[in-house]
A and B are shown apart, each in its own frame.
Chain A
Amino acid sequence: MKDILTIIFRLTVACLLAGLVMGAAFIVTDKAKKHNLHVNEQKVMFSLLGYSAKKPAPETVALHEVYRYIVSQGDVLNVGYLLPLQDGSFSFVTVDLSGAFVAQNPVNIPAEKVAEEGERSQAILASIGAGKTIRYADQTIVVTNGGKRTAYLLPGKFPGFKTFIGTILAVDQDFSILGLEIMEHEEDPGLGGEIVQEYFKNQFKGKPLETIKKLEVMKTPLPEEYLRVLEADKRERLDAEEVARIQEQYRDSDIYALTGATISSSAVTNGVKAMVKKFAYRLEILDRVLAEQHIAVPF
């Protein structure tokens, strides 16, 4: 009996000490980590849009964040969008599942707090009235250049082979893919982990909506000439005409699966397919509602 008590006591002390050390490390490093993530995300977004340190984005380019929520009241499920307005304030527009307008509520939140999940949810809850619950779904970034829409950035997560794969997808106004970046994944190194390679990610580039809708993976070897184009950044300079011709040739082809990682390959393909299809559908509804209700958004 005495032994058991000693063991319990010692283990508790050991656990508390370990917790203390980990907690201290967390407090010290958390801010820097979040900052890194944010900086990295921004960099990735601009690089997907074709801007880099050498070719910075012009002043006229602006990113507008739209947050999507699931609003539930009893049995009724609605979709809510937190939108920035032209005057700098925010508005929460609720749309029902068939796409009809339900309500618009002004949200009182300062612009610099919007990126913080907790504060944002509270501000929305306060604005839409009691009896409703909201759940954060996803976020879309509308890119404008001089007030005109040029592209959409879609951060998203979908199941991979082991855990979720986090990505950012860039599409243009016609929902053709501009680029795909894998932000986080835990696929097997050397096998599924190859989804981060240029020759896999770049296969999605340029595919139009019609192709994406029926996109599959195929288990045939990647042709050598296509591989050269996909890895163009890494390799020797290629003839621009040749590149355009090959890209055109493979534009409507399926995705070549990674060797030894068919499940990871099709997970990414299906994830991208679902993201683009759903986004195209939702945006159409949102745009119609915005036009009907004369809601002035900056994009």
Chain B
Amino acid sequence: MATDKTSFQLVVNGILNENPIFRLVLSMCPAVGISTTVMNGFMLGIAVLFVQVFSSCTIALFKNVIHPRIRIPTYTLTIATWVTVIDMVLAAYLPEAYAKMGIFVKLIVAFAIITMRLEMFACKESVNASFWDGIGMGLGFMFGMMALGFVRELLGLGTILGYDVLGFKPLLFFVLPFAGFFCVGLMMAFFNYIEIVYKRAKRA
């Protein structure tokens, strides 16, 4: 079964129709834990983007030699390998970026979104399609994290990207982990609402 979508449709699909956070509801732990600021969301998004693309391509490349009984361990192994390699390369050649991103890269090994994408998509599709799907999913995740980070940073710390915009801290509780659940829930409802409005407008 090969996908008939173009590469552009695959990317858009990852960002909107199957957004990892708001539509697939995957990787809730990082979404809740890390999305306290826009910058954190962006960093984690970049890290996921790279690991997702590399892992998707690897699995799509080797899909015929992976025994179906051990596919999940193989996926985990692939992700762990890429995470480790990216971590080491960053530390060696981009120490400045590593100082900011290192902690996020190491978190990725256990992300559900990457394993799920390998299981749902990459193990059935071509390398090319998997590459674009990986990009779409990574961007979708980044978009979701940054949207969450925007709301939480603004309401929790009164800043955007570290710049003081409100001048005071409205509700500190928004940067604490449990408030992430409220944020995710409310924003999910918001995006569902937009979808309903959009569909209604289309029908009319």
Chain A residues in contact with chain B, CB under 8 A? Answer: 3, 6-7, 10-11, 14-15, 18, 21-22, 25-26, 28-33, 36, 40, 186, 188-191, 193, 259-260
Contacts and interface: CB of A to CB of B under 8 A. Distances in A.
Chain B interface main SS type: helix
B24 interface: no
Contact of A260 (B33, B103, B104, B175): B175
Given A14-B73, A15-B77, A191-B175, A32 B85 contact: no
Contacts of B37: 189-190
Contacts, number: 71
Contact of A25 (B70, B89, B103): B89
A26 B88 contact: yes
Contacts of A14: 70, 73-74, 77
Contacts of A25: 84-85, 88-89
A22 B85 contact: yes
Name the interface size band of chain B: 20 to 34
Contacts of B78: 18
Nearest to B81: A18
Interface of B: 33-34, 36-37, 40, 66-67, 69-70, 73-74, 77-78, 80-81, 84-85, 88-89, 91-93, 95, 103-104, 172, 175-176
Nearest to B74: A14
A32 B88 CA distance: 10
Candidate in A14, A21, A31, A193 with the most chain B CB atoms within 10 angstroms? A14
A126 to B, nearest CB: 33
Contacts of A21: 81, 85
Contacts of B36: 189-191
B74 A29 contact: no
Nearest to A22: B84
A52 B33 CA distance: 37
22 contacts: A3-B69, A6-B67, A7-B67, A10-B70, A14-B74, A15-B77, A18-B78, A22-B81, A25-B84, A28-B92, A29-B89, A30-B88, A30-B92, A36-B92, A188-B33, A189-B36, A189-B37, A189-B103, A190-B175, A191-B176, A193-B103, A260-B172
6 A-B pairs with least C-beta separation: A29-B92, A190-B36, A32-B92, A36-B95, A25-B85, A18-B81
A260 B34 CA distance: 14
A29 B93 contact: yes
Contacts of A40: 95
B84 A190 contact: no
A259 B92 contact: no
Contacts of B77: 14-15, 18
A6 B80 CA distance: 23
Contacts of A33: 88, 91-92
B81 to A, nearest CB: 4
